[in-house]
Structure 1
């Protein structure tokens, strides 16, 4: 089975749609127009670039710790982003979200989340607990108080953003959390994790978030895809912590992993019976990072340009990578880490759009999958004598229209048998 065929087998659904008029009688032998409106699958990207735009800021806005486009640049990126992606990750890195104790950036991020919602985009928060960007002011508190402050931070964010952000990376990169140090100084979250242990720290994050919003989706996320992460997941599940999805990261600055390695990773983590979210992924369109680099953060280049050959390679790699991920039934979401090279992590040319705002071949290739090969174009069909019409397409939201009458419905393997009533 080819990758394209495998994706088709996993992701497409068939249904016999029944169309009725307002009085409940079947719309027999009529022409209908079926259109896909939204994918059920979460095609994600970070939404950092649009925080300033959503807040009507001008010039260099007060960004988050990982940057973001100025509003004018964001305006040029908006349609490119929305043409492909339906899920945005917003930054809740504690050091940037609350640089001063007691002064969180709540309203600004609420406006950004609402901006995406108004455009039909789901929003995920990243992350609630993470050691790397814990605020410096937290170091000054004694250990016992740190735990309660962390708990309060989780409750505050999940409660304040309920209805806007209902999916969270509850805790990030716990495999290395107890041993991580910032500039030779141990941060307060590392201290907490070392004191109470990895699994109790994870329990703390998940249980506080769950109490704050029982409807939220909570993800355990890590870049370490070794057996250490597997052992951690097993311990967490055995301890009875309710994990909704497993997060996997792949910043492929040293080159595309290839189908075999990617599928091997998917199989190892799918055995826990939980949805898999590929939470962070990148592929570069310039020179590859040297293979001997162990920690990607150690590679510091004065310039890292996108090249013509690299852009062609990136486009091919993006198609292969997404086909491989979507061919596995456990994968529920994929988040590409950045729309543009401008302000990209580590300065890498990993965006789908060049720094000048022009799309790379990788952007066109991914859009060709998401809104082309994996999208049901507007299709005219005819109902039978009982008002039924067969539809085969990608799981998601659809509309059906007859003349000026329009109705919405959902196609998917787990969706109820579709039936629409025209007003």
Structure 2
């Protein structure tokens, strides 16, 4: 690894001195050991809502075979997934939440090595219609109860949550009546964020709590909202930034400008919803992407090459920034949100160039290759690489350990079994 490359990603890498111990409790001295990475600490993720019927055995045989192939490729690339908790879909009938299906799906992803995020706990869009007949006080009560219930039910499965989604436009949203806009208009954005985050923190003190918003029309307003929330003592753990680029790639310069503006808060930054289309781009001038409704939005050869090229630049720009901790793509298969060709897989089950190019980054360039080393007389060996989970193997035994920024100066004992 050359020096320039190391300097670019040194905030993602570290070294640890390992002390390998055998089953007899003695150091494994002067012995060849194989050390390899098994998982990234950085969260490379994707939204995957179509996983719910598959994980719950609700598909026919043909659909099931297609889904198996899709998720084999998904798990080869990603270690992080976003699952949907849109209130009106999750609890269309009051008192009948879809907890069991979501819990089974979350357990399946966890078994396959994925960290999971729930999205979102509070949002004006897709708020249940049965809230509309209630007073503002009752709506707030039910919203907070909803947060407590979901976080309680999914503790240990889902430890990352988008607590509030798109609070900037929440009180002025006018496309249709909804209960959350009512209380936000009445209480104000900051108090709604404060109440929801307080309920979330109380429900799971160890969870990572995000505020999430889009910035293509409201970057100033989002920055001001975060500042006000932090001044009010809201326990925001990370800033979520949507980067839907249906109208074209932002470019490196604009992405760096966004990072600079939100870095002043010195909080982790999660790019929560990234997209680039592999067909024609959405016309400029459309403010609400949901207003762009067409019958067919095909993926093209030229568009797929452009999507792959721009996605590589996007990921490199974000991975190079020390405050960015995750990137989530939206979605894995074409034709999900808005029918757009934003995925890694076409609707006829073909991997697009974006998959191959990002695989080269995530699992090749940004991955620590397995190496063979020899322990010294004390059973010690030093390993270096990207932060994440590792496995050491020697004399027919294995042990797991982590390379982690917080503990990189400490020696770690690795019992082999």
TM category, shorter: over 0.9
**Aligned residue number for residue 338 of structure 1:** 331
Q: CA deviation at 1:288?
A: 1.2
Q: 2:270 aligns with which of 277, 299, 314?
A: 277
**Aligned residue number for residue 232 of structure 1:** 225
Checking the alignment, whether the CA contact within 8 Å between 1:3 and 1:327 is kept in structure 2 is: no
What residue ranges of structure 1 are gaps of 5+ in the alignment?
Answer: 61-68
SS in 1 for 2:161: strand
**Aligned residue number for residue 341 of structure 2:** 349
Checking the alignment, whether the CA contact within 8 Å between 1:172 and 1:220 is kept in structure 2 is: yes
Separation (CA, whole Å) in 1 of partners of 2:59 and 2:337: 23
For residues 5-404 of structure 1, the aligned pairs below 5 Å read 7-59=8-60, 71-182=64-175, 185-224=176-215, 226-341=219-334, 343-404=335-396
SS in 1 for 2:405: coil
How far does the alpha carbon of each residue in 1:311-332 deviate from its partner, in whole angstroms, 9 at most, with x for none? Answer: 1111111111101001000001
What residue ranges of structure 2 are gaps of 5+ in the alignment?
Answer: none
**How many residues of Structure 1 are paired with residues of Structure 2 in the alignment?**
412
Checking the alignment, whether the CA contact within 8 Å between 1:13 and 1:394 is kept in structure 2 is: yes
SS in 1 for 2:347: coil
Q: CA deviation at 1:414?
A: 1.3
SS in 1 for 2:341: coil
The TM-score, its normalising length taken from structure 2, stands at 0.95
**Aligned residue number for residue 404 of structure 2:** 412
The TM-score, its normalising length taken from structure 1, stands at 0.93
Q: CA deviation at 1:344?
A: 1.8
Checking the alignment, whether the CA contact within 8 Å between 1:37 and 1:398 is kept in structure 2 is: yes
Q: CA deviation at 1:78?
A: 0.9
**Aligned residue number for residue 66 of structure 1:** none
| Structure 1 residues 266 and 23: alpha-carbon distance in aligned structure 2, compared to 1, 3 A threshold | same
Checking the alignment, whether the CA contact within 8 Å between 1:29 and 1:383 is kept in structure 2 is: yes
Separation (CA, whole Å) in 1 of partners of 2:144 and 2:99: 17
